[in-house]
Structure formats: C-alpha cells, structure tokens
C-alpha cells in the first residue's frame, strides 16, 4: 500500500520494480537457486537463464552478450572501467564537472596514483563545448568519461559528436548512461561508445545489479578489480547475483518493447508539471530544455529553501541533489558548475517521473508544491 499513498517523483534516484520483473526473479530465489557456474543439471539450467539475461541486456543497447559484464550497479561498472585502465601507457583522463560522484571520485583516485585529470566546465545550459574538449586532448590522453543524460537536470550531451571527435584522436570513450538506458534508445555501436555503465534499478529493475559494456571492437584490456574464482571471463570474480541478473534481463526486455510508449505518456506529464510549477514567481528551469530526457525537470524556486520544502511535502517524494538521501544541506555541484549561486542551487528541486506516475498525482503535487513554496517565501519575508 505504500506506493499508493506516496506520490513518488524521484525516479532518477531509483524506480519501483515492475511486477513483471519481480515475477521473473522469484523462481531464482526458491526453485532455480543453483550456482550458475556449477556443472550439474541444475547449475547448467540456471546458467542458461543467465546467458539469456545477458542477451536481453545486450539487446537493449545493441551490443553482443559477450560484451556484457554484470556488476553490482553502475558505480562498480564505472570503477571497473576507469580503474581498469590504470596500467595503460597514457596517463591523462578528461571528464566533466557535472558528472556523478561515482565518476568524479574515481577520477580523484586515479589522480592520486599519478594520472592527470582535466575537469571540463559546462555552459549555463549544462552542455559541454566540443571545441573545449578538442583543445583538451593531448598525445597523453587515454580516455574521456562523460554522461549521456545528467542525473540532476536530465541534460543530454551530444554523445555521437563527442564519440566521433574522440575516435579521430584515438581516445577511448567511457559513457555513464545510467539515467538513459531503458528510457531512451541507446545504441553503443551507432553512438561509438567504448565502455558503458548502467544500473537496473533506474529502469524498473532490482537494486544491486548493473552492467558494464566493453566494446569487443575496441579491444580494450581492463585490469581486473575483483579477484577470486575467475567468473565473467576473469574480469569480475564472485558468485553471480542470479535473481538480480534475471531481473535486469527482464527489465531490459520490457524497455525494448515499451520505452517509446513510456516516453510519450511521461513527457506529457512532465511538461504539465513543469508548466504549472513555473507559475511560481521568478521560477526557472535549470539546464537545456531542448536536449534533455523526457522524465526530468529541475526547477529553481527563488527564496524557497529546498530542504524545508522537501520535508514539508511529506509523502510527495522529490529531490534537491544526487544523494541517495533526498535531503542534503550542500548545494548541488552540478548546479554550481552550471553557474547557479549557492542560494539558487539550494532553492532548486528535481522532479523525475516514471512509468507508474499518474496525471492525478501530478495535479496533487503541483497544488502542494505551489502552496508550500508560497508559505515558505512568506516566512522568509517576515
């Protein structure tokens, strides 16, 4: 009953597991529970299901099943991708200041072991200047790592042009596509991505499972980060999370068939929410409104403390940053990098809709947000 009482508009943080995904997973907890690497019939049966899930996941991004490594989520996938390149001769990494902390913190680690990191700024719209990227590449540049869709603003970078530039300079491309995969078409071959990270729980799958795509064509040799029994072609040892993998595969299959329908419906709801909330005096959208994903809007309500507003909203779940907790007293590094002041960043709210969001919930949320934001502004003025 919890999801019926709660109006959940924080789908970029995590999503509700689709009941079809849960149904597919359940037998692998209680009936088909054998270790997928065991050589008996029960193990081989489970392994066949794992291989099918790998195919389903690969199909979602137009990859081959052999190019998929299952991880605990996008954060681990990003760590494997970046740290796995530590033994390469070139020692320069380029990234963007608006990246997720999983990328920024891993880059900081790489800096501590001798790599040079270039953190490129973005414009006020959140987009990267490709000329600046071009100028930042040197003979020592090994890899560029950049998001497809930003988790806080939804801004979509021009990935295909970025990839073309990198390829012309013989630079690898790591793409954090966590907020895009399962929502919009992501074709790693057409886009020219060498490594890509994703998480199931961002598109109605379970938490604790994700994947790293590693292009076979790029012939990338990653240094293993987790040693042990040599599972997954010795790139990521450990007993496989079979129920999670089955859930990721099923969520991928559903996304292939239904994401376009989700887009049409959710985008209408997002635009309605945004247009109504922008009636608040002085409010504005953070980030580019043309190049962004359809489920996300990040709005600044001048004079309103976002932390207070989130707490006042109670059963309406929204966010003011990328933290796993919806409430943080620190201004968003993403919004700061886009030129917002501390006060503006701390007055901004991210609304992210999903497959289960209804029109009625949007109407209620708009009414509550506008009323409570107005009260908070009056309190400040007093």
The CATH fold of domain 19-254: 3.40.640
pLDDT digit string, tens, across residues 120-179: 999 999 999 999 999 999 999 999 999 999 999 999 999 999 999 999 999 999 999 999
- What is the rounded distance in angstroms from the CA atom of residue 167 to the CA atom of residue 152? 28
pLDDT class of 322 with cuts at 50, 70, 90 = low
The rounded percent of the chain whose pLDDT value lies above 70 is 96
Phi, psi of 40 (to 5 degrees): -80, 175
192: left (phi over 0), alpha (psi -120 to 50) or beta: left
Q: Which residues are the active-site residues?
A: 324
Q: How many separate helices (H) and strands (E) can be counted in the chain?
A: 14, 12
**For residue 156, what is the DSSP state?**
B
Task: Give the separation between CA 200 and CA 181, rounded to whole angstroms.
Answer: 9
The pLDDT value given to residue 381: 61
Q: Where do the structural domains in the chain lie, given as residue ranges?
A: 2-15+258-381, 19-254
Between CA 60 and CA 112 the distance in angstroms is 36
Q: Between these two residues, 1 and 353, which has the higher pLDDT value?
A: 353
Identify the residue with better confidence: 278 or 324: 278
CATH architecture type of domain 2-15+258-381: Alpha-Beta Complex (3.90)
Q: Do domains 2-15+258-381 and 19-254 have the same CATH topology?
A: no
Per-residue confidence band for 327, with pLDDT thresholds at 50, 70 and 90? very low
pLDDT for residue 1 is more than 80: no
pTM exceeds 0.85 for this model: yes
Give CA–CA dist 205/14, Å, rounded.
9
Distance of alpha carbon 215 from alpha carbon 219, whole angstroms:
7
């Amino acid at each position: 009953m919890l999801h019926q009482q709660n109006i959940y508009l924080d789908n970029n943080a995590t999503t509700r597991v689709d009941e079809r995904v849960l149904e597919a997973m359940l037998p692998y907890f209680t009936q088909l529970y054998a270790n997928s690497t065991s050589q008996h019939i029960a193990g081989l049966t489970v392994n066949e299901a794992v291989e099918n899930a790998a195919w389903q996941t690969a199909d979602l991004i137009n990859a081959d099943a052999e190019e998929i490594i299952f991880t605990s989520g996008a954060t681990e996938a990003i760590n494997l991708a970046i740290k796995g390149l530590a033994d390469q001769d070139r020692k320069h990494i380029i990234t963007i200041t608006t990246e997720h902390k999983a990328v920024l913190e891993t880059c900081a680690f790489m800096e501590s072991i001798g790599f040079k990191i270039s953190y490129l700024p973005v414009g006020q719209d959140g987009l990267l200047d490709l000329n600046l990227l071009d100028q930042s590449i040197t003979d020592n540049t090994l890899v560029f790592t950049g998001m497809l869709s930003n988790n806080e603003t939804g801004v979509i970078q021009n990935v295909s042009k970025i990839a073309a530039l990198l390829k012309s300079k013989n630079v690898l491309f790591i793409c954090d596509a966590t907020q895009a995969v399962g929502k919009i078409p992501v074709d790693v071959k057409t886009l020219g991505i060498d490594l890509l990270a994703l998480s199931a729980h961002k598109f109605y799958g379970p938490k604790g499972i994700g994947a790293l795509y590693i292009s076979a064509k790029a012939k990338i040799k990653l240094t293993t980060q987790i040693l042990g029994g040599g599972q997954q072609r010795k790139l990521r040892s450990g007993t496989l999370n079979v129920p999670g993998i089955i859930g990721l595969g099923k969520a991928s299959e559903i996304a292939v068939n239904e994401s376009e329908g989700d887009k049409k419906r959710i985008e209408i709801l997002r635009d309605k929410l945004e247009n109504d909330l922008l009636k608040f005096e002085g409010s504005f959208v953070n980030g580019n409104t043309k190049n962004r994903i359809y489920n996300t809007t990040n709005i600044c309500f001048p004079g309103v403390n976002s932390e207070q507003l989130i707490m006042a909203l109670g059963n309406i779940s929204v966010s003011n940053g990328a933290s796993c907790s919806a409430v943080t007293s620190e201004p968003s590094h993403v919004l700061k990098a886009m030129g917002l002041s501390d006060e503006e960043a701390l007055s901004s709210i991210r609304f992210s809709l999903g497959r289960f969001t209804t029109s009625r919930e949007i109407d209620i949320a708009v009414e509550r947000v506008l009323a409570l934001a107005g009260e908070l502004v009056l309190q400040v003025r007093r």
